[in-house]
A and B are shown apart, each in its own frame.
Chain A
């Protein structure tokens, strides 16, 4: 493939042109369906209201996510919109863990309040948050929110997180639909496979 295509949509168009008009005619309903799906996903405005979390819960969830992948010289989970991914997950594909998640969050908040009366986790300073998380990062609730935060950083942006591909930029993942060799530094000057002399 001489010209890597940037998106699935371009890719499909490219593939189709390569296969000719008959192929397009045969595949058109399927291609159209994919395009409509992609368009719906990209034009759907990211909601600022929540489908599952309360505003209070959302503040603590966002603060938690922001400690799991912090913002430093580069954006973290907060900028990636992990919160919206988590909220959306808990009333869609991860609905089966929504209730345990809420119970876990309440326990997390209650335990924090015992050590810090008059303070919510979200309102605490970063040092206090980190100190508390270090104590509770072995809990099931923490494992769950870590899992959801990472998916909210790195899953497809159409799920509500990974805003503007922030997660992929952090990873150094180039979201292109097809690639051509050389792929990396070490295969650039590869001389070709040579059977070892003691080989066969």
Chain B
């Protein structure tokens, strides 16, 4: 059924990126009757291509962007020299480079934003050193699209399970995944402290769902592609449904490096490299960039021309700015009996009692705590409690693996203008295009809140009966797996890149929708909101297209 388009054929939409947002965008536009070509720089892999191989995926860039082909540099501030990371380290801005994007290797935690997320500037006022703004949309406007994600992608969970839950119009389509020992213990500890733990909402099938198999509890979610299609990756959900319309072509190994514009300042198509690294061009009526919070601003900046000297859609100067990577914390509890956290999904219980900023703490910040594996076995062994990291004592620590759980804190990042994605002035990728330069230094409140929440996680573990608790230091962020805020949404063209319908303020037929659209960071689990935005944006974009307003 997959349609193939000729490059000379003026397709209605080119969607750049096939991940969490691009997959939704492709399906919605194709089902609305439009011709769509999805450009994906990574290859098309399927369930049988994935394996339980930690070395491959965590250390050999099995499906992630890799420094050999796509290098990046990092610096804390604009005064520092930007340098590539050490050999073997993850890139500063890491994502899955494959059809389905990072939805292929995500843990599939699907937290909705709360109502407060959309109006934190109004609630807390200006914060020194940050550009805190309200979103131009509210939770109520987005709620129908969160529900759409629940049902179209398939989210397992329990509605009405805790008092901090944002309002929902529908229950979850599937019950929660079976609880793990870490979930039971988090629930026990949190309840003893008067908190309200609840079953984790996950985009993982807990029973057969729309032709997909349920989870087999193999334990390799985060960092791995699902081998039974139980994860709601767009590779298994939106992409095949888009192709089934007969109006969508997903063009793998097609790396868009420049958006073309006409003298009238409209986008005319995309320049890209094909599998053989030949330069190609696809003509389009409109372009939607869903390339993620790192690659989207990079592409706009790489599309600079005499007409748009600072990059496309960048009259505000804010393309690439306000990068938010989310802080977090790690507290490990060691218990008397086996938990065997390496089995099944990452998370089964969550606490959202500390979601809101509380001015009594003296700093901005909010977050959630979840009970999880931490890492698969090999990765888990790489860091232990303070003290010797080798020898007899370390070997004894290794034996605690099945009795250990992680209580992870997922916390806010304030939008700081200097934190950014920009083009490295020197370093090129293996196609000769400018490398990403990441500039990032956490706002002091981000570090304070992460440390504060880590103490709460420690208390929960202790209340659950942990024999001992050890934790990782809170450190400045140098690697991000979810890149947010770099083409922020807003009503004022001087202070934002896209409008409330994801149209760029500067170019009428250019839209942007992915993590870059975020105005604030949420609490470290952005995929649900990225996809709700994509469903909402697609509906609007289709409406504009039908009215000839693109």
List the interface of chain A (C-beta within 8 A of B): 1, 8, 11-12, 15, 27, 30-31, 34, 67-70, 72, 76, 93-94, 96-97, 100, 130, 133, 137, 146-147, 150-151, 153-156, 159, 167-168, 170-174, 177-181, 183-187, 190, 193, 195-196, 198-200
* Residue B158 is within 8 A (CB to CB) of chain A in the complex: yes
Q: A137-B390, A184-B181 are in contact. List 16 more A-B contacts (CB 8 A).
A: A11-B227, A27-B48, A30-B46, A69-B390, A69-B394, A72-B395, A93-B59, A96-B88, A133-B390, A151-B59, A151-B378, A171-B402, A183-B341, A185-B338, A187-B181, A198-B163
CB pairs A–B below 8 angstroms (11 shown): A15-B228, A72-B395, A153-B381, A154-B381, A155-B54, A170-B398, A172-B402, A183-B344, A184-B338, A186-B339, A200-B160
Are the CB atoms of A184 and B340 closer together than 8 Å? yes
CB distance from A54 to the nearest CB of B (A): 22
CA distance A70 to B217 in the complex (A): 33
Complex Cα spacing A78 to B149, Å: 50
Which residues in chain B, 309-353, are within 8 Å of chain A measured between CB atoms? 335, 337-344
Q: How many angstroms from the CA of A66 to the CA of B46 in the assembled complex?
A: 40
- Alpha-carbon distance A30/B59, docked complex (angstroms): 24
Interface residue from A68, A159, A174 paired with B391 (Cβ < 8 Å): A68
A154 vs B219: C-alpha distance when bound (angstroms): 16
Interface-forming stretch among B126-134, B183-191, B362-370? B183-191
Q: B25-66: which residues lie under 8 A (CB-CB) from chain A? A: 46, 48-49, 51-55, 59-60
Are A195 and B161 touching (Cβ within 8 A)? Answer: yes
- Cβ contacts under 8 Å, B269 to chain A: none
Q: Does B179 contact A187, Cβ atoms closer than 8 Å?
A: yes
Is the Cβ of B161 less than 8 Å from the Cβ of A172?
no
Report yes or no: B55 in contact with A183, Cβ–Cβ below 8 A: no
Contact check, A178 vs B216: say whether CB atoms are below 8 A apart: yes
Chain A's nearest CB lies how many Å from the CB of B7? 29
Q: Is B223 an interface residue (CB 8 A)?
A: no
Whether A155 contacts B181 in the complex (CB less than 8 A), given A27-B48, A186-B339, comes out as no
In whole angstroms, how far apart are the Cα atoms of A138 and B380 in the complex? Answer: 20
CB-contact partner of B184 in A70, A154, A177, A186, under 8 A:
A186
Does B176 reach chain A (CB closer than 8 Å)? yes
Contacts of A133 in B (CB 8 A): 390-391
Kindly provide the distance from the CB of A189 to the nearest chain B CB, expressed in whole angstroms.
Answer: 9
Please list the 6 inter-chain residue pairs (A to B) with the smallest Cβ-Cβ separation, ordered nearest first.
A185-B337, A184-B181, A186-B181, A154-B378, A178-B216, A172-B402
B308 at the interface (CB under 8 A from A): no
Q: A171–B401 contact, CB under 8 A?
A: yes
